[in-house]
């Protein structure tokens, strides 16, 4: 199921998003095609996740599925998504790039508009092409996106009508094919840079033996040059079908009107030919090559590791999501240990572990390593040692409880700020849930499911999850290096296969509390207070000279933004010699407060919505924090303590220098 921050968002995905904008919308009748009754919303079949009742789900007789909801963020805007359950992995031999090619052609002429008119209509509706109007092709899905900034009744009608024609009946003329061929070939050339080569090498190594390994979404020059209107239409007719289409509309309007428009314009879409079966995406090959070295002079030194397992579609149940949550906590514990080791002067700048279900092709665990200097072998060894320790020694209950508490706070914060979720984000979340074969859940459901799990979050459960995450094909490794080294391939194999001694996590930081922060002097008092301005801003001057600007931000419920400006910023820095300002953003906050280091500060703010960042502006230095009303008092204490008695630690400066040189 899908909702909340990123992989949190996979749990409302699990782990990982009203009044009418235009009253006339509800007043104008529209012929509605009868929908097939669906006692259980189609997204929740074979799931016991409570449906998100903000969404209204339906199916047309031709098999097209839809989901609509009212959402007033931002006001008057409506987000429309059309997702086709077909991407580049559906291409047959000789069709490489056809899914993406068809995405381009859909914006040309179609049933209701001549060539070029769709973009002009969308622009007249206020949509900017590339931001409000866009599309994307992935290995398993093609998504069309349209955000209408000020949606009128007629504008909605035009948008849904044109989109329906783009899906069901694009023209695909020789002239259009010739024009778009130049565009997609240009995109192919642009993507053939260092980053593109890393993506290709990663895919080829980690998914060797599967279609994903050598099937880039952009396609091949040969197939794109050989494409004809007939061959492109054949791909379109095979895969663009109502039963493979989901329409999502979320915005500031009446959901009944959204439903009616979908029925009016999509119900008469009839598929062409027989319904094709999904292709076989294969399974990870255990005997494929394990290492590869890629020399890219313009890129930093980095090592990517992966363990892959076969992907299977699973019923998105509460039990399944509980297992995913345990996996997430296991990775959070490892990631904190990796960061702790890096802070203590380890051999790597950054390292992290994550899990992902990749393009319905593999259930994979990924480990990223960015060495601190050129000694990447020591970095790989040290990261493997941290993971080896996690595979042998279960974490303590206190370590688990800390991560669980932080996770719970994130889920609660999502509940408190859910009214801020933009309709476009909610629509994108649902479309992604369809793609990964999961559901969406409200933030409240995600929070409550996790709250019921605490008895399951035991050392034994975390250890079992860690072992599961590291089980699969033999670990594979890609070394990206700016310098050629004839020994690198052999050294990478040795680094990957060498025995490592489990490296115990660094000693836990001493117990910290806000009582250990530097002591403040007498509290200041307000000596001058201005009346609120027209937009509600009030200025207050304190007895110690500090000036406050208080601004009620009613549109951002559940969040409080704090900004402390001081000094003169860049204007205060000397212009006749270099300064260490380059390290300030990365190193100043991480240097701690007084004699409290970053580890203690992390502990201090654990399970709280308290944070701190620093930046240098043209005319001021700024400390910032984003918190919630319940934590505002301690957020202010933290920023004030940083200004009163900043800590100084050389280790963050070393990391900042390495990052700048990477």
Greater confidence (31 vs 393) lies with 393
Q: Is the pLDDT of residue 200 over 60?
A: yes
Give 378's pLDDT tier (boundaries 50, 70, 90): very high
In the beta sheet, which residues pair with residue 569? none
According to the model, what pLDDT value does residue 27 have? 33
pLDDT recorded at residue 658 = 85
pLDDT (0 to 100) of residue 35: 52
pLDDT score for 361: 98
Tally of CB atoms within 10 A around 519: 9
* Mean pLDDT, residues 282-297 taken together: 97
Structure tokens at 90: 């559906």
Q: For residue 28, what pLDDT is reported?
A: 37
Q: Packing angle between helix 397-416 and helix 318-343, nearest 10 degrees?
A: 110
476 CB contacts (<8 Å, ≥6 apart)? 205, 206, 288, 289, 290, 291, 305, 306, 307, 308, 496
* Integer Cα distance of 274 and 272 in angstroms: 7
633: how many CB neighbours lie within 10 A of its CB? 11
Q: What is the pLDDT of residue 511?
A: 80
SS3 content of the chain, % helix, strand, coil (to 5): 40, 20, 40
- Whole-number Å distance between alpha carbons of 625 and 640: 11
* Band (132; pLDDT cuts 50, 70, 90): confident
Name the least confident of 14-23, 206-215, 291-300, 643-652.
14-23
Are the CB atoms for 272 and 237 separated by under 8 Å?
A: yes
Strands 476-481 and 291-295: parallel
Report whether pLDDT(25) > 90. Answer: no
CATH H-level superfamily of 515-661: Metalloenzyme, LuxS/M16 peptidase-like (3.30.830.10)
- Position 512 scores a pLDDT of 85
Domain boundaries, the chain: 291-497, 515-661
Closest by CA to 629, choosing from 556, 564, 559, is: 559
Compute the mean pLDDT over every residue in the chain, rounded to the nearest whole number.
92
Mean pLDDT of all residues in 295-316: 97
**Is the preceding omega at residue 564 within 30 degrees of 0, hence cis?**
no
pLDDT surpassing 80 at residue 404: yes
Report the percent of the chain where pLDDT is more than 70: 93
Which of 641 and 27 is assigned the larger pLDDT? 641
CATH of domain 291-497: 3.30.830.10
Angle at the Cα of 425 (from 424 to 428), degrees rounded to 5? 85
How many Cα atoms occupy the beta-carbon half-sphere of 215 within 13 Å?
27
pLDDT at 15: 32
For residue range 580-621, what is the model confidence (pLDDT) as tens digits? 999 998 888 999 999 999 989 999 999 999 999 999 999 999
Residue 273, pLDDT score:
96
């Amino acid at each position: 199921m899908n909702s909340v921050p990123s992989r949190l968002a996979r749990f409302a995905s699990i782990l990982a998003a009203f009044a009418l904008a235009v009253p006339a919308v509800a007043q104008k009748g529209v012929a509605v095609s009868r929908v097939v009754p669906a006692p259980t919303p189609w997204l929740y079949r074979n799931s016991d996740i409570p449906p998100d009742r903000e969404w209204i789900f339906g199916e047309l007789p031709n098999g097209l599925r839809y989901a609509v909801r009212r959402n007033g963020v931002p006001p008057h805007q409506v987000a429309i998504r059309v997702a086709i359950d077909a991407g580049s992995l559906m291409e047959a031999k000789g069709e490489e790039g056809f899914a993406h090619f068809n995405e381009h052609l859909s914006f040309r002429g179609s049933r209701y508009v001549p060539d070029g008119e769709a973009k002009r209509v969308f622009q007249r509706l206020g949509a900017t092409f590339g931001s409000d109007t866009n599309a994307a092709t992935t290995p398993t899905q093609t998504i069309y996106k349209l955000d209408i900034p000020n949606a009128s009744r007629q504008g909605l009608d035009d948008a849904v009508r044109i989109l329906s024609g783009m899906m069901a009946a694009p023209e695909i003329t020789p002239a259009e094919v010739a024009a778009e061929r130049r565009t997609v070939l240009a995109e192919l050339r642009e993507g053939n840079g260092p980053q593109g080569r890393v993506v290709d090498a990663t895919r080829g190594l980690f998914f060797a033996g599967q279609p994903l390994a050598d099937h880039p979404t952009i396609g091949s020059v040969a197939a794109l040059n050989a494409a004809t209107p007939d061959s492109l239409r054949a791909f379109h007719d095979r895969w663009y079908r109502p039963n493979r289409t989901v329409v999502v509309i979320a915005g500031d309007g009446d959901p009944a009107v959204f439903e009616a428009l979908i029925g009016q314009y999509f119900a008469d879409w009839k598929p062409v030919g027989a319904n094709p079966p999904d292709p076989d995406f294969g399974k990870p090959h255990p005997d494929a090559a394990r290492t590869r070295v890629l020399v890219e002079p313009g890129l930093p030194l980095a090592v990517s590791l992966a363990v892959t397992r076969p992907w299977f579609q699973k019923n998105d149940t509460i039990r399944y999501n509980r297992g995913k949550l345990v996996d997430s906590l296991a990775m959070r514990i490892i990631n904190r240990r990796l960061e702790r080791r890096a802070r203590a002067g380890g051999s790597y700048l950054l390292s992290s572990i994550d899990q992902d279900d990749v393009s319905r092709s593999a259930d994979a665990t990924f480990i990223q390593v960015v060495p601190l200097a050129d000694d990447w072998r020591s970095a790989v060894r040290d990261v493997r040692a941290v993971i080896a320790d996690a595979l042998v020694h279960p974490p303590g209950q206190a370590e688990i409880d800390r991560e669980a508490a932080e996770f719970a706070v994130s889920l609660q914060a999502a509940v408190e700020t859910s009214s801020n979720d933009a309709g476009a984000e909610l629509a994108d979340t649902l479309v992604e849930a369809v793609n990964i074969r999961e559901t969406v859940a409200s933030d409240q459901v995600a929070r409550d499911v996790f709250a019921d799990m605490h008895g399951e979050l035991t050392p034994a459960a975390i250890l079992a999850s860690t072992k599961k995450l590291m089980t699969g094909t033999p670990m594979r490794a890609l070394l990206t290096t700016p310098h050629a080294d004839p020994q690198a391939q052999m050294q990478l194999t040795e680094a990957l296969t060498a025995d490592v001694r489990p490296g115990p996590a660094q000693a836990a930081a001493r117990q910290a509390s806000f009582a250990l922060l530097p002591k403040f002097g007498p509290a200041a008092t307000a000596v001058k207070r201005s009346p609120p301005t027209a937009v509600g801003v009030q200025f207050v001057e304190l007895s110690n000279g500090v000036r406050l600007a208080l601004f009620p931000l009613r549109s951002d419920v559940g969040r409080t933004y704090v900004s402390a400006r001081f000094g003169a910023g860049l204007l205060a820095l000397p212009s006749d010699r270099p300064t260490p300002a380059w390290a300030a953003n990365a190193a100043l906050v991480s240097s701690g407060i007084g004699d409290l280091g970053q580890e203690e500060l992390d502990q201090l703010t654990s399970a709280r919505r308290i944070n701190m960042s620093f930046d240098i502006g043209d005319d001021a230095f700024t400390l910032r924090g984003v918190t919630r009303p319940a934590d505002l008092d301690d957020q202010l204490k933290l920023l004030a303590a940083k200004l009163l008695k900043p800590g100084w630690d050389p280790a963050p400066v070393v990391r900042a220098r390495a990052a700048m040189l990477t």
